[in-house]
């Protein structure tokens, strides 16, 4: 096998535990007639197992040095398509032409949050996602309202998707070993959003303000956007902390804020 030295700046921690690789691919269950996209194939640990299903597989890898390794291993397969580039800038509509995409990846942890937001913004093209992430990020994605992990990331993920934490993966499964525990998460975009808002950007702004200082009350954090009286009018206690609110509560707040004049100085 061609030697490749893992690069920290690309978040490279390669999977080496075949038991874990097989367990991930069994959770994904790629079907022969499906179209998958793998983000960050690295040296092809998961790629190889996915390709066995005969599905159509596009992969997007940022590190140019991995391109000849991947092409050497899989380039002859007609169902394999490699894109060299940045997944954060990738327009998924280019490849999701006739079928919804199933997106998978052992993601580079340094960009996992912006990448998830980028994918959520294209949720209509995606039928499901399976990712390896830092366990702490999986806990935030799958968090319940009222818990410590509940915040902007989990609320936005659950706005668009059903989120399921599948299993944990220890550092020993990788080379080099990451300093943190990892976990596998499944996100399935809702066919119809259970709590739609008219303006998603405004929901994001409400969440940013609400969780700006977690120890402060909603009355304080949301002062620039909504009054305490308006919160009370929709049944929300202005003295509550942000993590006590549900997604539906934040959606209700956003719909009121949409009709308020916004003070841009704040
Ligand atoms: N899938 C391989 C495995 O499990 O062994 C590699 C996983 S490694 C954690 C993350 C991979 O994502 C690396 O191959 C890295 O080069 C690639 N990568 C990093 N940033 C990327 C980006 N912005 N777009 C696409 N790939 C990226």
Identify the domain boundary among 132, 165, 189.
Answer: 189
pLDDT of res. 4: 83
Atom of ligand 1 nearest to the CA of 63: 16
Q: Does residue 89 lie in a domain region?
A: yes
Tell whether 42 is in a known binding site.
no
DSSP 3-state assignment of 106?
strand
Residues of the chain with pLDDT under 70: 1-2, 262-266
Identify the domain boundary among 189, 208, 224.
Answer: 189
60 CB under 6 A from ligand 1?
yes
Distance CA 143, CA 175 (A): 29
Residues 68, 173 share a domain: yes
As given in the structure block, the two tokens for residue 156 are 């936005």
pLDDT of res. 1: 47
Distance 42 CA to ligand 1 centre (A): 5
Q: Does residue 249 lie in a domain region?
A: yes
Nearest CA among 196, 184, 108 for reference residue 142: 184
Distance 11 CA to ligand 1 centre (A): 6
Q: Does residue 145 lie in a domain region?
A: yes
Domain that holds residue 208: 200-265
pLDDT of res. 98: 83
Atom of ligand 1 nearest to the CA of 14: 5
pLDDT of res. 229: 97
Q: Supply the residue whose CA is at minimum distance from atom 10 of ligand 1.
A: 108
C-alpha distances out from residue 113 to 73, 138, 245, Å = 30, 11, 22
13 CB under 6 A from ligand 1?
yes
Identify the domain boundary among 145, 168, 189.
Answer: 189
List, in sequence order, every residue forming a beta bridge with 128; answer none if it has no partner. Answer: 102
Tell whether 136 is in a known binding site.
no
CATH number at residue 105: 3.40.50.150
Q: Does residue 105 lie in a domain region?
A: yes
Residues 20, 152 share a domain: yes
Q: Which distant-in-sequence residues (6+ apart) come within 8 Å of 8 by Cβ? A: none
Tell whether 13 is in a known binding site.
yes
Start-to-end Cα distance in the chain: 56
This complex has an ipTM of 0.99
- Count of domains forming the chain: 2
pLDDT of res. 262: 63
Residues 113, 239 share a domain: no
Residues 248, 205 share a domain: yes
Distance CA 240, CA 168 (A): 33
CATH number at residue 224: 1.10.8.100
Atom of ligand 1 nearest to the CA of 115: 23
Q: Supply the residue whose CA is at minimum distance from atom 14 of ligand 1.
A: 42
Distance CA 251, CA 254 (A): 5
As given in the structure block, the two tokens for residue 86 are 């940045």
């Amino acid at each position: 096998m061609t030697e490749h030295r893992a690069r920290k700046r690309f978040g490279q921690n390669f999977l080496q535990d075949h038991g874990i690789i097989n367990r991930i691919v069994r959770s994904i269950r790629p079907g022969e007639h499906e179209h998958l996209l793998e983000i960050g194939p690295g040296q092809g640990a998961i790629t190889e197992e996915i390709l066995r299903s005969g599905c159509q597989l596009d992969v997007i890898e940022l590190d140019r040095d991995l391109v000849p390794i991947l092409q050497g291993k899989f380039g002859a397969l007609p169902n394999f398509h490699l894109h060299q580039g940045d997944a954060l800038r990738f327009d998924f509509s280019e490849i999701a032409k006739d079928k919804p995409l199933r997106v998978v990846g052992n993601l580079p942890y340094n960009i996992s949050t912006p990448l998830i937001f980028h994918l959520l913004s294209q949720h209509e093209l995606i039928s499901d996602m399976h990712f390896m992430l830092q366990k702490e990020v999986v806990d935030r994605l799958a968090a319940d309202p009222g818990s410590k992990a509940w915040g902007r990331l989990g609320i936005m993920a659950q706005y668009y998707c059903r989120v399921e934490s599948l299993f944990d993966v220890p550092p020993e499964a990788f080379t080099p070993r990451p300093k943190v525990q990892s976990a596998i998460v499944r996100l399935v975009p809702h066919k119809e959003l259970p709590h739609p808002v008219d303006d998603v950007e405004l929901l994001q702004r409400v969440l940013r303000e609400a969780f700006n200082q977690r120890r402060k009350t909603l009355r304080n954090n949301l002062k620039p956007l909504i009054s305490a009286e308006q919160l009370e009018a929709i049944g929300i206690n202005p003295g509550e902390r942000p993590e006590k609110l549900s997604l539906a509560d934040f959606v209700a707040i956003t719909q009121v804020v949409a009709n308020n004049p916004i003070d841009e100085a704040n």
